[in-house]
Amino acid sequence: MPKLVDHEERRRELGEAVWRVIRSRGVDSASIRTVAREAGWSPGALRHYFTSQSELLTFAMQMVVERIEARLSALDPPADPRRAVEQRLHELLPLDEERRAENEVWLAFAARALVDPRLRAPHEEVDEELRRAARATLEELGSAGRLRPGLELDLEAERLHGLLDGLALHTAMRPNRMSPEVIRSVLARHLDSLDPDEGGR
CA distance 190 to 67: 26
Cβ distance to its own copies smaller for residue 47 or 190: 190
Task: Please count the CA atoms within 13 angstroms of the CA of 75 that sit on its side-chain side.
Answer: 18
Q: How many residues does the chain have?
A: 201
Least Cβ distance, residue 66 to its own copies (angstroms): 22
Cβ distance to its own copies smaller for residue 3 or 177: 177
Cβ distance to its own copies smaller for residue 49 or 106: 106
Least Cβ distance, residue 187 to its own copies (angstroms): 9
Cβ distance to its own copies smaller for residue 14 or 91: 91
Distance of CA 85 to the CA centre of its chain: 16
Least Cβ distance, residue 76 to its own copies (angstroms): 29
Assess contact for 93 and 160: CB atoms under 8 A: no
Least Cβ distance, residue 2 to its own copies (angstroms): 34
First-to-last CA distance in the chain?
64
| Residues 141, 191, 131, 175, Cα dihedral to 10° | -150
Least Cβ distance, residue 80 to its own copies (angstroms): 21
CB atoms within 10 A of CB 136: 13
Burial 164-177 (b: 16+ CB within 10 A, else e): bbebbeebbeeeee
Cβ distance to its own copies smaller for residue 91 or 156: 156
Footprint on this chain of its own copies (rule: CB under 8 A): 28, 107-108, 110-111, 113-115, 123-124, 127, 148, 150-152, 155-156, 158-159, 161-167, 169-170, 172-174, 178, 182, 185-186, 189-190, 193, 199-201
Cβ distance to its own copies smaller for residue 42 or 179: 179
Least Cβ distance, residue 49 to its own copies (angstroms): 23
CA distance 111 to 127: 13
